[in-house]
Amino acid sequence: MGMTDDQLDLVFGALADRTRRAILAQLSRADTNVAGLTELFDMSQPAVSKHLKVLEVAGLISRTRQGTMRLSHLEAEPLKDATSWLADYRTYWDESYRRLDDLLTRMD
Amino acid sequence: MNTLNQDATIEVPSGTHEIRITRDFDAPVDKVFRAHNDPELVAQWIGPKYLENVECTFEARHGGTWTLIQRDPDGNEHGFRGVVHGDPTPELSQRTFEWLGMPGHVSFETMRLEDLGDGRTRVHASSVFMSVADRDGMAESGMSVGVNEGYERLDELLATL
């Protein structure tokens, strides 16, 4: 349980938006600047900046300056924290239910 | 005939402390219902196989209690308990759920069984936790042991059934 309630709310809130998930997918391939994202997603620069702000507050990205360029970089750790509990839950129930399948075929 | 979805669908509605599971079974409603209400049957399927169900009780009536104790291969025991709310029916079963590793953090569970026809059933299960932290804590109970073992172990297990 690496994250607090509030942090998880921020992460899940940030992930709830399709465009922000697409931005994260892009950043998983390469660090990208705002202009690059603006072009890739066919959105206005303020709209992209707004999404980046939400992702940054959630700790999902960091921004670094390289000369005049400000690059966004994916921070994978919070994403891992936020999804690992779900993977555990899924494993538990998938295994339980496969056993229930088997039991149901043996019941009168 | 619709295809059966025998991979559990797990949803975490945003802005809530709820987890929803949907899962189809190739068995009629009454059998699925019995498999959830008869403790001798529950003990045969709840949890991954490497967790031994050393105690399993369930009083399927309003105000009844239930308990489950699971032992992992290292000998650690994980206890769960709760109270049944309302007489359970296939249409609606309700109970509270508490992991003794995190006492006082009680979640509320509901289950509805949907008749899909042709002797098949869809389970709709919901758990509402007191907070996001509680929900995540739950996943760290006995439930977390399985993840490292992964699906290889499950394949092995299914081959022996």
Mind listing the pLDDT tens digit for each residue in B22-48?
889 989 999 999 999 999 999 999 988
Q: A95 and B131: CB-CB below 8 Å?
A: no
Give the CA angle between residues A102, A106, B1 to the nearest 5°. Answer: 65
pLDDT value for B157? 34
Q: Which of A101, A106, A108 to mutate to test the interface with B (most CBs of B within 10 A)?
A: A101
> Of A102, A104, A105, A106, which to mutate for an interface test with B (greatest number of B Cβ within 10 Å)?
A104
pLDDT, position B139: 56
Mean pLDDT of chain A: 83
Lowest model confidence (mean pLDDT) among A2-11, A60-69, B55-64, B138-147: B138-147
Whole-number Å distance between alpha carbons of A54 and A69: 20
Chain A positions touching B157 (Cβ under 8 A) are 95
Predicted confidence (pLDDT) per residue in B70-102, tens digit: 988 888 888 899 999 999 999 999 999 998 877
Q: What is the mean pLDDT of residues B107-121?
A: 95
Give all strands (DSSP E) within chain A, no chain letters.
32-33, 61-66, 69-74
Chain B touched by A18 (CB under 8 Å) = no
Partners of residue A84 in chain B, C-beta under 8 Å: 139, 147
Helix axes A5-15, A18-29, angle to 10 degrees: 90
What's the complex ipTM? 0.73
As to burial, measured by CB atoms within 10 angstroms (0-12 exposed, 13-18 middle, 19+ buried), residue A13 is middle
